[in-house]
A and B are shown apart, each in its own frame.
Chain A
Amino acid sequence: MNIQGIGMVSALGRGIDSLETVLETGPIAPSMIEVPFRPALFPVYAVAKETLKDKTALSRMRRADRFSKMAVLAAIDALQNAGIELHDPARTGVVLGTAFGPHPTVFSFLDDILEFGDDAVSPTLFSHSVHNAAASYVSVALGLAGPAMTLTTFTDPFHQSLLLAQTWLDQGVCDSVLVGGVEECGTVMEYIVSRKLRIADDETNIQPFFAEGGPSVIPGEGAVFFLLGREPAGPYSVQFGQIGSKAEPAPDLWIVDFECPALPSSAPAGCWSHLAGSMPTSTAVSCAAGALILKNGTVYSQTSLVKIETVQPMQIGCIGHKKTNIYLGKS
């Protein structure tokens, strides 16, 4: 599966250039927001309202929630980044991976049932609480008529999405697939993170799972989409290889997700996904960073981790939560 284009929406801004910039210059400060469950301000890598303002791209999405808007903008940008025309809309699929889906919308809907009764809840809110709404919006926004699927799973949602895309391409269901990881931060997510993990005071105190003293994170949100096809196209000359639990052959460089419980021992390793905030679909950010590393031949030093050596990687392994690997290599 060749990476033909990448689009990204995060606290870093919009477009793959926003990731490339922080890979070169270093982490930005998170937003400090008020939350109802603790007196101190809470750090979050939140997507700015201005980032989601695009009257042209979102012209038919007045009612859409933030989750769908992030997905659509990242998918549009992936296509634009590829610089190619999709000739047959029916041959392009959409796979969206997420751990929590549009959970702020879901909780708003549930809150409204409790507050107003089930006959006075917004039908629009209900339709957006359905997890496949965002993938459908992507299809509509880009005029696609291929299959659109959302995979909601806490464990490695982006890995699962790539596997589905690979199946569609291998079986000839599609000629190209837009595959994305999308996560939204809201009060519920912030509360869960604050209960389960240690929250870093600022971007200088982020510590991964395997660091001494345990994990210290700043939650994030955003969307990363890849346009994938069988043939090389676009600016990267990078392809996805094996996806699974086998860690062989050892790549030239491991990219670990922030939540990865242990470092691999076999090769230099780095972590970059936390630059956009910690989220269950961080592997999508890791893969975007990996594609940039392979494209530019540069192992960016702006990581809070780990054992970076001077290498010129030809093959990269990205590890998610459960030590599931995604291999990236030159096309």
Chain B
Amino acid sequence: MAADKETALQEIREILKVKLIEQLSLEDVKPEEITDELPLFGEGLGLDSLDAVEIIVLLQRNFGVEVKDAQESREIFQSVNTLAEYIYQQKTGA
């Protein structure tokens, strides 16, 4: 069961990295350069508040997942890992 979850999360992380680069026009970044724990905002990947809005759209379009709570989004948008966990929870109810 845990192995299945990890496989699903890994798949989500990979899609996320590609979509983040595509949607946020991060032309000089390669998916492998975005580590799972890399902070998306500030130091880390250097995203800003406009990118946060784009990520909300990205989640909705690609995973059918909505983020409506601003406080909740702060925690969800920490890294690719936290995003993947949120998507997994929303999709599986786990």
Contacts and interface: CB of A to CB of B under 8 A. Distances in A.
B54 A120 contact: no
A120 B50 contact: no
A123 B25 contact: no
Contact of A123 (B24, B26, B54, B61): B54
Interface string A105-128: 000000000001001111110000
Nearest to B64: A120
B57 A120 contact: yes
A116 B60 CA distance: 9
B61 A63 contact: no
A122 B25 contact: no
B23 A122 contact: yes
B53 interface: yes
Contacts of B54: 122-124
Q: Which of B23, B25, B27, B53 has the most CB of A within 10 A?
A: B25
A320 to B, nearest CB: 35
B57 A62 contact: no
A191 to B, nearest CB: 25
Contacts, number: 24
Interface residues of A, number: 9
Interface string B45-71: 000001001100100110000000000
Contacts of B26: 62
Given A62-B25, A62-B26, A63-B25, A123 B60 contact: no
Nearest to A112: B61
A63 B23 contact: no
Contacts of A122: 23, 54, 57
B51 to A, nearest CB: 9
Nearest to B53: A123
Contacts of B57: 120-123
A62 B24 CA distance: 8
Which DSSP category, helix, strand, loop or mixed, fits chain A's interface?
A: loop
A238 B24 CA distance: 43
A63 B60 contact: no
B48 to A, nearest CB: 10
A123 B27 CA distance: 19
Contacts of A124: 50, 53-54
Interface string A122-158: 1110000000000000000000000000000000000
Interface string A243-285: 0000000000000000000000000000000000000000000
A294 B29 CA distance: 46
A113 to B, nearest CB: 12
Contacts of B53: 123-124
A59 to B, nearest CB: 12
Contacts of A120: 57, 60-61
Contacts of B60: 116, 119-120
Interface in A56-95: 62-63
Contact of A116 (B25, B50, B61): B61
B72 to A, nearest CB: 18
A62 B26 CA distance: 7
12 contacts: A62-B24, A63-B24, A116-B60, A116-B61, A120-B61, A122-B23, A122-B57, A123-B50, A123-B53, A123-B54, A123-B57, A124-B53
> Nearest 9 pairs between A and B by C-beta?
A120-B60, A62-B25, A116-B61, A120-B61, A123-B53, A122-B57, A63-B25, A120-B57, A124-B54
